[in-house]
Amino acid sequence: MTKVKTEIKTLTGAQIFVECLKAQGITDIFGYPGGVILHIYDELYNCKDINHYLVRHEQGAVHAAEGYSRVTGKPGVALVTSGPGACNTITGLANAYYDGYPIVVFTGQVASSLIGNDAFQEADIVGITMPCCKHNYLVKDTKDLAGIIKEAFHIATTGKPGPVVIDMPKDVLTGKAEFIYPEKVSLPGYNPNYNGHPLQIAKAMNLLYKAERPLVLCGGGVISSGANEELIKLVKELNIPVANTLMGTGGFPGTDEHSLGLVGMHGNYWANMATANCDVLFAVGARFSDRVTGKLSKFCNDAKIIHTDIDPCSISKNVPVDVPIVGDAKRVLADMLNIVNPEEILKNSAKKTEWLEQINKWKNRKVKTVKTEKMNPQSVIRRIYELTKDKDPVICTEVGQHQMWTGLIYKFNNPRRFVTSGGLGTMGFGFPAAVGAKVGCPDKPVINIAGDGSIQMNIQELGTCAQNNIAVKVFIINNGYLGMVRQWQEKLFNRHYSHTPIESPDYVKLAEAYGATGIRVAREEEVDAAITRALETDGPVIVDFIVDSLEAVFPWVLAGEPICNVLMGKEGCEDLQGEYS
**Distance in angstroms (rounded) separating the CA atoms of residues 120 and 110:** 8
Pairing of strands 28-31, 163-169: unpaired
Helix axes 349-362, 269-277, angle to 10 degrees: 140
Q: Which residues of 453-492 form beta strands (DSSP E)? A: 472-478
Residue 490 is a catalytic residue:
no
What is the three-class DSSP state of 107?
A: strand
Measuring CA to CA, how many Å separate 203 from each of 206, 239, 404, 502? 5, 18, 36, 54
Partners of 107 in the beta sheet? 80, 167
Per the CB < 8 A criterion, the answer to whether 214 and 278 are in contact is: yes
* CA dist., res. 158 & res. 135, Å (int): 12
User: Which is the catalytic residue, given 247, 273, 484, 568?
Assistant: 484
Cα–Cα–Cα angle for 254, 257, 260, nearest 5°? 55
Cα distance between the two ends of the chain = 58
- Runs of H (alpha helix) within 188-315: 198-210, 220-224, 228-238, 269-277, 290-293
Is residue 120 part of the annotated active site? The answer reads: yes
DSSP 490-556: HHHSTT--TT-B-----HHHHHHHTT-EEEEE-SGGGHHHHHHHHHHSSS-EEEEEE--TT---SSB
Q: Based on the number of CB atoms within 10 Å of its own CB, is 174 exposed (0-12), middle (13-18) or buried (19 or more)?
A: middle
Cα-based distances in Å from 184 to 1, 3, 101, 154, 511: 6, 7, 22, 9, 47
- The three-class DSSP label of residue 199 is helix
Distance CA 352, CA 376 (A): 38
CB of 494 closer than 8 Å to CB of 518: no
CA-atom Rg of the chain in angstroms = 25
DSSP state of 109: E
- Burial class from Cβ neighbours inside 10 Å (0-12, 13-18, 19+) for residue 120 reads exposed
Among residues 134, 150, 170, 330, the one annotated as catalytic is 170
398 is catalytic: no
Q: DSSP string of 378-404?
A: HHHHHHHHHHHGGG--EEEE-SSHHHH
CB 266 within 8 A of CB 408: yes
Known catalytic residue at 375: no
Of 224, 340, 237, 344, the C-alpha closest to 284 is: 224
Rounded CA separation 351/360 (Å): 14
The answer to whether residue 170 is catalytic is yes
In 3D space, the residue among 447, 439, 474, 441 whose CA is nearest the CA of residue 459 turns out to be: 474
The answer to whether the CB of 244 falls within 8 A of the CB of 261 is yes
Catalytic residue among 9, 120, 184, 366: 120
Report the sign of the C-alpha dihedral through residues 451, 454, 459, 462, in that order.
Answer: negative
| Nearest Cα residue to 395 out of 441, 464, 452 | 441
Catalytic residue among 1, 22, 74, 121: 121
Give catalytic residue positions.
58, 120-121, 170, 484
